[in-house]
Amino acid sequence: MPGKRRWLFLAPLLSLSACAAVAKEAPRPLGLPPVPANIAGAVEMQKLGERLFFDRSLSANGTLSCAMCHIPAQGFASNQSALSIGMEGRMLRRNAPSLYNVVFKQFLFHDGRETDLAAQVWGPLLAADEMGNAGIGPLLKRLRENPSYGPSFDTAFPGEGVSMSTLGRAIAAYEATLLRGDSRFDRAFFGDEKDALTAQEWRGFEIFSSKGGCAACHTIEKDDALFTDQSFHNTGVAFSRRQASGYIKVELAPGVVKNVNLSATGLGEPPSRSDVGRSEITNDSADRWAYATPMLRGVKESWPYMHDGSLTTLEQVVEFYDRGGGANPNLDPKIKPLGLTPEEKDALVAFLKAL
């Protein structure tokens, strides 16, 4: 299929709506909706999915796992570099998004190219510059030949065993447990603990919901708050700052960040083509440079920010939006200069950290 991701045909095969035989209702943290029953798997399925998520043997050369780009201690994202680093040190085009509350996302990946949580795992698994598997069969063969995986699949999926479908469903069941709610914001807004937020954080919430315009895309509903409109917007971030070819930011130690030229060392390659976002999926020029609205739970942990990791602090994010984003022909009309005062910016950042 010229011009298309080769794994797009997988979604019908892995439809979660057709494989909900073993499911249970997951706990519901304050501020979150119920986990869809067709994704929340039994404990055995979740445990198997967790093991697969952390297993480097799922990559072609046994060096990469899902958890190496989605690090639990870093908001299930990665603080190490602006752009993700894949197979044999290759630099990818985008930043690793946080997986908190990913079970509620209608569109997966920054460009929304996948809509099925069980199917999406095959994208990174088959991408040559990510986990590098040349095909589905060889990976499943390795798992079937692993004496410890066979019994685990049989327990989690009686009568099914190792298959393309069960691998995806297991990882999806684990990812469905990565819930982030019941924050101080939730206890203050959805509960009765009004003093769970400080006066400054309440002020930040007011700005978030009004003058800052944040809630227009990072929506808050009556009974829950996913902080996303499940849509795509061009904020102009791709025009605000461009990285020097071949360079990425790498954290060498806590708080110590350095520009590293991976190409010069032979460990990486700069992106070979421009990134125009959602329009790569829809072929609609109106979607050029538009990306999915991210959720904001645990946002203080999951830096750097934006699809390209070009902003390293929440303060920089607020400054970016305060000046009206990055001018370009398709800039979303919601993005405009805000005129926030220093006090308002500080309050907004304080609110975001309370999530």
The residues spanned by each domain of the chain are 8-175
8-175 CATH fold: Cytochrome Bc1 Complex; Chain D, domain 2 (1.10.760)
Q: Are strands 291-292 and 247-253 parallel, antiparallel or unpaired?
A: unpaired
Say what the pLDDT of residue 281 is: 96
Residue 7 pLDDT: 36
| Closest C-alpha among 123, 116, 146, 117 to residue 49 | 117
Q: Are 27 and 33 in contact (CB under 8 A)?
A: no
pLDDT, averaged in runs of 10, over the chain (355 residues): 37 39 60 92 95 97 96 95 91 94 98 97 96 96 94 95 97 97 97 96 98 98 97 85 51 63 49 79 94 97 95 96 94 96 98 97
DSSP lists the bridge partners of residue 305 as 311
DSSP letter (8 states) at residue 9 = G
Q: What is the pLDDT of residue 80?
A: 87
Count CB atoms within 10 A of the CB of residue 87: 18
